[in-house]
């Protein structure tokens, strides 16, 4: 919890410092920004799911979604059946974004999005491993913490943008800002390893070979000299591949 408090506080300070008008903020506005950081930390599971609903809707509106007839959608539907239709009881909604970007993410409301660029790069076993990893971030509570930090940053900016103080609700542009921050959220090494293990365990439990995780990491490492956005905040891909290989070898 201390790590999350620090991250939210840092996000709030960074957002305020980035605004050229910070010198014009009165003490009440600065106090409100602190209250927003506290509010972000206190977001409940339902609050986070509501924000996730708004963010996912915003992201869907900004991207081209593969139709039901698309081979991408048909592939993802097949993989979805292997991974399951819920995360901790929350129904999952799978869709493919038609883009050359290599990425995938999941939100606390069950919104799972996979980019066609990633599906072009990987086979079904590898995609299953990556999507299972993203679902692990949801199941293990990592996405809730990431949304809290994203909310704190977006909400803090409303102190400057609102002439009468803090906005009661996030505007459309702030939802867009929050969504971008969430999708680009950085997870800690321990969180990434835990999400890898979640994907491994889920696949083993359902009777699928988790070796696709290993080759998925190896392929991601080849993108832009290993500087793929999916790996920018992760442990090194060779280390992650070895961890999974060791688990496969041990049978545990």
Q: Which residues are catalytic?
A: 134
The contacts of residue 222 (CB under 8 Å, 6+ apart) are none
Instruction: Please check whether residue 33 is in contact with residue 12, taking contact to mean a CB–CB distance below 8 angstroms.
Output: yes
Instruction: Give the C-alpha separation, 68 to 6, whole Å.
Output: 43
The dihedral sign for the CA sequence 159, 173, 95, 129 = negative
Instruction: Give the C-alpha separation, 103 to 131, whole Å.
Output: 10
Three-state secondary-structure class, residue 73: helix
Tell me the chain's radius of gyration from C-alpha atoms: 19
Kindly report the backbone phi and psi dihedral angles of residue 233, in degrees, each rounded to the nearest multiple of 5, phi listed first: -115, 10
Kindly report the backbone phi and psi dihedral angles of residue 201, in degrees, each rounded to the nearest multiple of 5, phi listed first: -65, -40
Instruction: Please check whether residue 79 is in contact with residue 128, taking contact to mean a CB–CB distance below 8 angstroms.
Output: yes
The contacts of residue 62 (CB under 8 Å, 6+ apart) are 176
Structural tokens at position 149: 């930090």
Instruction: Please check whether residue 147 is in contact with residue 52, taking contact to mean a CB–CB distance below 8 angstroms.
Output: yes
Instruction: Give the C-alpha separation, 30 to 23, whole Å.
Output: 11
């Amino acid at each position: 919890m201390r790590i999350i408090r620090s991250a939210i506080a840092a996000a709030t300070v960074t957002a305020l410092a980035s605004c050229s008008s910070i010198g014009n903020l009165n003490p009440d506005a600065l106090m409100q920004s602190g209250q927003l950081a506290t509010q972000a930390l206190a977001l409940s599971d339902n609050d986070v799911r509501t924000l996730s609903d708004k963010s996912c809707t915003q992201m869907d509106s900004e991207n081209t979604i593969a139709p039901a007839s698309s081979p991408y959608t048909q592939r993802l539907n097949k993989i979805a059946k292997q991974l399951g239709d819920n995360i901790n009881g929350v129904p999952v909604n799978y869709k493919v974004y038609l883009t050359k970007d290599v990425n995938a993410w999941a939100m606390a409301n069950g919104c799972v999005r996979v980019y066609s660029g990633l599906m072009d790069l990987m086979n079904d076993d590898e995609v299953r491993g990556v999507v299972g990893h993203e679902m692990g971030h949801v199941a293990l509570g990592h996405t809730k913490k990431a949304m809290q930090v994203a909310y704190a940053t977006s909400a803090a900016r409303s102190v400057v943008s609102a002439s009468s103080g803090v906005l009661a609700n996030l505007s459309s542009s702030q939802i867009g800002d929050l969504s971008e921050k969430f999708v680009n959220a950085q997870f800690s090494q321990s969180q990434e390893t835990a999400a890898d293990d979640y994907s491994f365990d889920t696949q083993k439990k359902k009777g699928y070979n988790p070796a696709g995780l290993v080759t998925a990491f190896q392929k991601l490492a080849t993108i832009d000299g290993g500087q793929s956005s999916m790996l920018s905040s992760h442990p090194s891909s060779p280390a992650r591949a070895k961890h999974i290989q060791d688990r496969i070898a041990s049978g545990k």
